[in-house]
A and B are shown apart, each in its own frame.
Chain A
Amino acid sequence: MNPFDYIRPASVAEAVAAAAEPGAAYLAAGTNLLDLMKVGAMRPGRLVDVRHLPGLDRIETLSDGSFRIGSMVRNADLARDAGFAAAFPAVAEALLSGASAQLRNVATVGGNVMQRTRCAYFQDPASACNKRNPGSGCDALEGENRTHAVLGWSGSCIATHPSDFCVSLVAFDAVVEIVGPAGTREVPLEEFHLLPGTTPERECVLEAGELIVALRLPSDAGRFAANQRYLKLRERTSFAFALVSATAALDIEDGTIRSARLALGGVAAKPWRAHAAEAQLQGAAPGVEAFEQAARAALADAMPSGANAFKIELARRVVNRALLLAAAGTPERMPAMPASAFSSVPGVLSHV
C-alpha cells in the first residue's frame, strides 16, 4: 500500500472539503478500496473516512411512498429491512446474492455503486490498462477476456461493472443524491455510470470531491412487487461475481403485461437497462414466446469483445429465465440461495 493520510471528518461539508484535494478518496467500509490499494491498483494519498458521518445511515420512507437510503447504510441492513424488502424484493435478492455475509455486514450501498471493475488487468499494475493508466493500452483485448463485456464496450476498454445491487436499482429508476463542492444534485442511476468510449478512466459522473449521500427509489415501482426476481449466473454456487445476471419485473393484469422492467448485469461497464425489450413486453401475454422475443431484443446490439461470444446466448437465456421466474411470482420468503438458478425446494421453479 502507498502511504496516505487518514482523515475522519465530522460533517458532510468537512468531508467534501477534504476530498476535493487532488489524490483524495473517500473511504467507506474499504472492502473494495483497501483491496485495490493492497495490490497497488489504487494509490490515493489521502483517505477521507465517511463511514461515521452522521445522518447517512438511515432507511427512510418518504411521504410519497418512495424510499431514501443513506449512502452509509450497509448492504446487509438494507436487504434485511422488512419494509424495504417487501417493496423491492428483487433489490434485496440482488444484495443477498453479492459477496459474503461478512462483506455485506460492512459494505455500504454507496461503496457498492462505486466499486471498480474486477478485470484482472486493472488489478495488476504490471499490465497495460487504459482505465488505471490512461493511454497505456488494454491487455484484456488480447488476454483472458471470457468474462468481459458484450454490450457498450469500446476498443479502449472491455471491462464490466461488477455490482449486483445496481442491476436491480437501475431497473426501478433509482436516483443518486450527490453533495459536492458546488452544492447538491441528483442523477438517475441509469446516467450515473459511463460507457468507456475513449475515456475508460472516467467511470461515473462524479466530479472531484463529490459524495453520494443517498439513493432514492420511486414509489411507482411498487406495482411490480408481486412479480420480480433477480437471477445471477456465476461460476460457483455462491460467493462469486456474476457472469451474467438479470432483474426482471412484471406488472401483470388479467393475463396481460401492463408494463415490464428489465436490466442486465455482467454485460457492460454499467448496469444495463433493456428499454427496447421492456417496450416489447408491454401488452404481451406472459409466456415463453414473449420472453424469448424480449431476450432477443435485449441482446440485439451485443457483440463479443473477445472469447466471450457465449455470454450473449447465456444472457438471452438468463433474461428469459428471469422473466419466467418473475411471472411465476415473487417467492414468499427469500430463497435459501438468493438469485440462484438452483433451488433446494422441491417443486419450486428452478429449471426452465
Chain B
Amino acid sequence: MTLSVTLSVNGVRRDVTLEDPRVTLLDLLRERLDLVGTKKGCDRGQCGACTVLVDGRRINSCLALAASYDGADIVTIEGLAKGDLLDPVQAAFIAHDGFQCGFCTPGQIMSAVGLINEGEAGDDPDRVREGMSGNLCRCGAHAGIVEAVLDAQKQLQQRRVA
C-alpha cells in the first residue's frame, strides 16, 4: 500500500512517498528526511527523546503514525536556531549545564519549548519538574534542566515585554 504524505518540517514543505504505512513520524524524520537530531531512545513513549512539536504541541514522534500526520506542521530541534543564533532555550541549556552526554537533549529542549508555550508552569520549579517528567535523562542532568527551563522562560518573557 503506497501513501503520500506532505508535511511542513521546520517551515519547509516536504513530500514523502511511503511504500508501506508502517512508518512512525520519528523514523520518517530520521531515515527519510535525514533529520537525525530527533533521537530514538525507547521507541515506546517512555523516554521523551523523540519529542517534536506538531502544530505547536510537544508530542512523542515514536508513537505517531506518519500517515496520520499528513498536512501537519512539524518543528524539530534542527528548526530552533536561526542560523548561528541559538534559540533562548538552547542557550539556557548550555548556560546551566542541562546535559552531559547529550542524547536526551534534543527531546528535553523540544519538550521545554512545548512546556513554555503551554504557559502553565510559571516560575514554580515543581511545576516545571512535573511538566518535564516525560523526558528521562540517564546522565541525571535534571537539576540543570529545571534551571535552564526557568531561565529560558524568564528571558522569553522579558523579550516579549521589551
Contacts and interface: CB of A to CB of B under 8 A. Distances in A.
Contacts of B48: 100, 102
Contacts of A337: 126, 130
Interface stretch (A3-11, A188-196, A269-277, A309-317): A3-11
B15 to A, nearest CB: 17
A47 B65 contact: yes
Helix, strand, loop or mixed for chain B's interface? mixed
A44 to B, nearest CB: 12
B21 interface: yes
A76 B120 CA distance: 12
A102 B51 contact: yes
A34 B24 contact: yes
A51 B64 CA distance: 11
Contact of B65 (A34, A52, A237): A34
B157 interface: no
A101 B68 contact: no
A315 B135 CA distance: 29
B20 interface: yes
B60 A101 contact: no
B34 to A, nearest CB: 23
B45 A31 contact: yes
Contact of A336 (B63, B130, B132): B130
Contacts of B1: 5-6
A114 to B, nearest CB: 15
A336 B126 contact: yes
A325 B10 CA distance: 46
A27 B111 CA distance: 25
B84 interface: no
B65 A35 contact: no
Contacts of B21: 4-6, 47
B64 A30 contact: yes
A101 B58 contact: yes
A103 B134 contact: yes
Nearest to A96: B130
A38 interface: yes
A31 B131 contact: no
B115 interface: yes
Nearest to A5: B1
Interface in A27-76: 27, 29-31, 34-35, 38, 47, 49, 51-52, 76
B60 A31 contact: yes
A89 to B, nearest CB: 15
Given A35-B44, A102-B48, 16 more contacts: A6-B65, A8-B68, A27-B65, A29-B64, A30-B68, A31-B45, A31-B63, A80-B120, A100-B135, A101-B131, A102-B59, A105-B57, A105-B59, A237-B133, A238-B130, A337-B130
Given A100-B133, A105-B57, A336 B127 contact: yes
Contacts of B3: 6
Given A100-B134, A101-B114, A35 B63 contact: yes
Given A5-B21, A30-B63, A336-B130, A101 B43 contact: no
B97 interface: no
Interface string A330-345: 0000001110000010
Given A38-B43, A100-B133, A103-B134, A336 B124 contact: yes
Contacts of A80: 120
A344 B124 CA distance: 10
Given A38-B43, A47-B21, A102-B48, A30 B65 contact: yes
A211 B147 CA distance: 45
Contacts of B22: 1, 3-4
Contacts of B64: 29-30, 34, 106
Interface string B93-129: 0000000000000000001001100101000101101
Contacts of B130: 238, 336-338
Contacts of B129: 238
Nearest to A97: B130
A99 B134 contact: yes
10 contacts: A3-B20, A6-B21, A8-B68, A31-B63, A34-B65, A38-B43, A49-B65, A101-B132, A102-B58, A103-B63
Interface string B51-62: 100100111100
B59 A38 contact: no
